[in-house]
Structure 1
Amino acid sequence: MAIISLPIPMVSVLEKNIVKPSSPTPTSLRTHSLSYIDQALSSMYLPFAFFYSKPQPNNISQLMQTSLSKTLTAYYPYAGMLRDNASVECNDTGVEFSEVRIHCPMSDVLENVENTQSIVFPEKLPWRNWYGKLAVAQVSHFECGGIAVSAALCHKIGDGFTVTKFINDWAATTRDPHVKPFVHFVRDSVIPPPEKSPPLPAPVIVAETQHCRQIRYFFSASKLNSLKAMVKAKTGIQNPTRTEVVSAFLYKCIVSAVKTREVSHPLRPSQLFHYANIRPLALPQSLAATSAGNLLSTFCISTTHDDEMDVAKLVAKLRKGKQGLYAKDMTRENELALEIYESTKKGDKPYEEDGFDKYFFSSVCNFPLYDVDFGWGRPKHVSVPMGPFKNFILLSGNKSMDGVDAWVTMEEGHMAALEQYEELEEFAGMVLSR
């Protein structure tokens, strides 16, 4: 697909406010202790944007600020300040809210294959480390009457599950002012720091996507079923998930495509890191659905030979890796956090092992992103800005909720090789390149 470069639209800021919780945070909750996983994570923002066609209310900005204020009463740590890498001062200083006008139709942004969808966030915000406010929201008005609502929340406070729940609760409160969001922040009650250990040093991850491109691939329900049937036939796994089959298939295609760029065509030793939600293991079922915070970990599989690059074998490896992760976290000690702690004491960076190409997969397929309804229906499109670094693949459910969108960020040369990989074309459609 040829890259179409269109001018970046002009943006006019209509207002910028600080929104505070509608009720003060109780004294007993004024200090939010961070779990060991929280400490191990960076303070990078997690950004999502939701596009809507011609909502009806005229007072959208005031309506959404009022509902945001009510939502922050439940999500009070986001209205506070990081005191250090072990705690948040929940002092109700508030979050940043902007209203802007983008001087073009919404279709220009959605159809432009360059990375213009970041325009619905405050400038330079997506994926950067926090700069004073732990949550930032923006409402963008387009000339056609459509709007975009973006939200970026600090990863130090919560993971993708938490961010999705926050945005859905904000939307529900906008639809109905009588809604009272409820959430349980796990704090350091789950995965506490090892006894007598000092706080982890605050990790800083710098978003680096220079010389990178992002392509959004779409996997339809029928193609997913074909992949699942193939995996089941070869491995006997009865219920391969869409996350497993898409992760394995994309990893195989990427590694094989990169191989074709080498003069001698060797298979490069590679690793697939996959983030996983550990709520089912770390919390009672009654708390999992309303839990907020960082309840995630990661597992890894490695490949060094051609005969390992089979989708069914890769799915089996992923299943085994996740089962191993769950076995670790069942002991209520997060070994990933401990490993990171040991490496930071030595001055190393996480995942800095030499000799392997590394690919990072994260899935929000089961998160209700397309259920975010502020009162004018489901979003026409949900967008994720490019980033935060090369070889990052984010999987999300599509609007019909039966397929998968895969947002792939890689350096330009490797992306060009992936675009030419024929097997990928058999199972996935290229929706957007930027």
Structure 2
Amino acid sequence: MIEAGSEISVATEGAGLDIAPSMGTEAVPDWPGALWVGAVDLESLAGYTHLRLQDSAGYHRARLLVRSGSSVRGFIDVDAPHGVLDRSVLETAVEALPPAVAAQTSSTPSITVIVCTRDRPALLRGSLAAILRLDYPNFDVIVVDNGASTAETRDMVRNEFNDPRLTLISEPRPGLSNARNAGLRHAQGDIVAFTDDDVVVDEFWLRGIAAGFEQAPNVACVTGLVPAGELRSAAQGYFDERVSWSKIVAPKVFTMEHPPADLPTFPFCVGAFGTGANFALDRRTALALGSFDPALGVGTRTGGGEDIDMFTRVLMEGHALVVQPSAIVWHRHRAELEDLIVQVSGYGKGLGSWLTKILLNPRTARLAIARGPQGALHFLRNARGHSVGQGPAPEETVPRDPRIAKALRAELFSVARGPLNYLLERRSGRAGKT
């Protein structure tokens, strides 16, 4: 099997270009709407008449992230019978995409990559391997072993990764914010880039991050594209359609001075700025803001929300936030319905908890209340639109799985639980003030 994260490898014979999947897997798809997922660089197609999709057994269609060098054009969904995509089909689909936006950077600031993990050494192994292959000259990596119940993660990192750029630290207090804060305290880079243990970073991820910090004055946060690395099940398809951050391909600069007209709830915009699997902060600014709120995040009663909380605080303090799609991190969505329900329940609790924090602060409460009705309508419209959806189904005849509605109900119920969970987490004494 071709190694995950290896985007393109040239075939040794014929006129075909071999393309590896974005995330390696041996599982055969069990959903009629399944899409093989990978990426193609238009600048690498000279002399080829077709593309051969590796590890594509069971797939009949493909989703390709189309790039021109390091710049992102967008996504196309195309037929790929027997794992072969004709170049003419590719080029026809690409015609509908917008032109590439240059993503070069003139500098390479020092970057510390922080990966927080808890008892998932098998997933962490692949994530670290991709990070250490990054095409960037000036970075180091901190792995935060958070609230570990065994020594497996520590032993795996120490025994399998002999790299001077890699540091392993332990944060015994559970909670993703505690883990992120521990990494932030130990970081030495001018920029700290956060990602998760269930992703594969693109080779040019940090170059995209660095480019984002050059897009505007006073940039304190850069987020990137987090596309689905696998779409083989109905649960994965539903989640991919449910979240907006998996499809953001247009660079954007957000500031309070120039609120975007298409986001009436700005700066309280879930998904519009990105997600916690792929973002970077100016280290000094992050520390000055008081780091991450320990009452939010996976591993606490609130289950999430620490990322959007940080994005909002960056903007409210007068800094710019840049969405830079060329900074790509591939994410493996939960394939099973039970796992999906757990995940979206955490998202729901995190959203409800974060909104509670917003309303408890007089400064943010005034702005949020003024924009609250619009936000509620947007959330409910989005939820209803996906109540029985199944993601990127290739045809109208793909059957809908009624079980997917359970995920929506779980998410909505969890949002309602968020306020109490946030107050309990605050009262527990584990959380400081931010």
Q: State the TM-score, normalizing by the size of structure 2.
A: 0.28
Higher relative contact order (CA 8 A, sep 6+): 1
Q: State the TM-score, normalizing by the size of structure 1.
A: 0.28
